[in-house]
Amino acid sequence: MKKSFLIGLRLTAVCAVLFCGFYLLSILGISKLVPEDKAFTKNEHGFYENVGQAFTSDRYFWSRPSAVDYNAAGSGGSNKGPSNPEYLAIVQARIDTLLVHNPGIKKSDIPSDLVTASGSGLDANISVPAAQIQVNRIAKVRNIEIEKLKKLVEAHIEKPFLGVFGTTKINVVKLNAALDKLK
């Protein structure tokens, strides 16, 4: 029994060094090699491409709503079910806002990701249809040709990883950064 106990103790010590020391240091080293993912800076405010931002101006593509007001320190959803009256009122208000700011679209055309928050509340991506229904509004406000905006949207479509894992999406922060550079 004493022999088994000592073997277990040594194995525990080796695993602690490997997994608590070596693994931690290797991940830290890799993180130092990866550049910071700032998409653009505007008015001394950094917009990170992997965290959703509040774009509500008619000049920009709107992002997915956030249950945590895009606060990366407090990620989370609303935890309200689809039959909760308060939740349904919030979603209806978002639908009404979209219809006012995007005349010509019908309620049935609105993708769910433009009126419902993601599980984390920090999703930086929207679906392709969510970007496409906003093209006419932005073209009118910015006085840009619709076809030019459609090409910009097409250029920012991100395909699923290896063509299988994930969904087709558009990063709103990157798209709006490119929109500001568009002449």
CA distance 164 to 162: 5
Q: Over range 157-177, report the average pLDDT.
A: 86
Residue 76 vs residue 160, higher pLDDT: 160
What range does the domain containing 28 cover?
Answer: 1-34
Whole-number pLDDT of residue 35: 64
43/133 same-domain check: yes
Whole-number pLDDT of residue 151: 93
Please count the structural domains in the chain: 2
> Kindly report the CA angle at 106 between 144 and 158, in degrees rounded to 5?
55
46/13 same-domain check: no
85/55 same-domain check: yes
Helix, strand, coil percent values for the chain (each to nearest 5): 50, 10, 40
Average pLDDT of the chain to the nearest whole number: 83
Mention every residue, 6+ apart, whose C-beta is less than 8 A from residue 174.
39, 49, 156
Q: What tokens does 146 get?
A: 């619709």
Most confidently predicted of 2-6, 36-40, 68-72, 88-92: 88-92
30/45 same-domain check: no
77-86, 89-98, 102-111: segment of lowest average pLDDT: 77-86
**pTM across the whole model:** 0.71
Of 178, 123, 127, the C-alpha closest to 151 is 178
